[in-house]
Amino acid sequence: MKSIGVNRNGKQLPADIVVRSLDLLDMAAFETLLERDSCATKNG
């Protein structure tokens, strides 16, 4: 499972991507994270 952390103070969170706001999230972020998760599972 992948995660996106949202923290407007810019503090680090234990997530794969951390953004201050979801409007700053890359349009392909969700698909890209799932592809990475899928590949990691297949290779694991």
Q: Which spans of this chain sit near other proteins (rule: CB under 8 A)?
A: 1-7, 13-15, 18, 21-25, 30, 33-34, 37-38
Amino acid at 23: D
Residue 43 CB, nearest approach to other proteins (Å):
15
Q: How far apart are the first and last CA of the chain?
A: 14
Residue 22 CB, nearest approach to other proteins (Å):
3
The residue with tokens 């680090």 is 12
Amino acid at 18: V
Residue 37 CB, nearest approach to other proteins (Å):
6
